[in-house]
Structure 1
Amino acid sequence: MNKALSNIGLAMRAGKLVTGDEIVLKAVRVSEAKLVILAKDASVNTQKKFRDKCGFYNIPLLIGFDRESLGNSVGKAERVVLAVTDQGFAQMILKHAGIMSEVEYIE
């Protein structure tokens, strides 16, 4: 399994991850999210919504993995969007995921 995915699982077990559309959006709005992870098979509308929000609030957005892998990594059914609320975990995940995914830093 990919190292980034196992780090996502670690963040989940540490309670440093939120999942679900509305909860992630709220975390972005209050700048609690340090990294948003979006499934590459998310709908175009969902991708646009999170691109816009993350861009506006200056939060890195990682688009990669599919919804099944994201769900498996956190021990739940398919997940389309996750937010990491801890800077350490966010950096660790980005370090391992940068190789195979699209990461956007909006300055």
Structure 2
Amino acid sequence: MNKTLSRLGLAMRAGKIVTGDEIVLKTIRSSEAKLVILAGDASLNTQKKFRDKCGTYKIPLLIGFDRESLGTSIGKPNRVVLAITDQGFAEMISKPMGTMSEVEYIE
């Protein structure tokens, strides 16, 4: 689990993470997002919004961690949603998570 968070930090330093509701939605709509990570403690409304959007655009969604550990991993205070814009980082982060969290493609 900590390995995944440190990989998020790497992706952030490489400039491959965007964060914040509106910016993440924009990267989903433009298909720049390769993986969306949503905090497990996000509101049900927020979870539904990103589930629907990721499902529509066929972008993998990973729900896990809490807003505090997501924020800490990228050096910013509490973050509810992140989008990874690089395929390599997206795979590196989602592969080990597949066993412990819900990575979903919704049809």
- Gaps spanning 5+ residues in structure 1: where? none
Report sequence identity in percent.
80
Q: What's the secondary structure of 1:49's corresponding residue?
A: helix
- Tell me which residue corresponds to 1:17: 17
CA distance in 2, matches of 1:14, 1:89: 10
- Tell me which residue corresponds to 1:56: 56
RMSD: 1.0
- Gaps spanning 5+ residues in structure 2: where? none
Q: Is the counterpart of residue 4 in structure 1 residue 4 in structure 2?
A: yes
Q: What's the secondary structure of 1:78's corresponding residue?
A: coil
Q: Which moved more, 1:76-85 or 1:89-98?
A: 89-98
* TM-superposed deviation, 1:96: 2.1
Deviations 1:53-77 (A, max 9, x none): 0000000000000000100000010
Q: What's the secondary structure of 1:106's corresponding residue?
A: coil
- Tell me which residue corresponds to 1:101: 101
The aligned length equals 107
* TM-superposed deviation, 1:24: 0.1
CA distance in 2, matches of 1:65, 1:98: 13
> TM-score, normalization: structure 2?
0.96
* TM-superposed deviation, 1:101: 1.3
CA distance in 2, matches of 1:60, 1:21: 16
Deviations 1:83-107 (A, max 9, x none): 0000000000001222321111224
Q: Which moved more, 1:2-11 or 1:24-33?
A: 2-11
Deviations 1:25-52 (A, max 9, x none): 0000000000000000000000000000
* Conservation of the 8 A alpha-carbon contact between 1:3 and 1:96: no
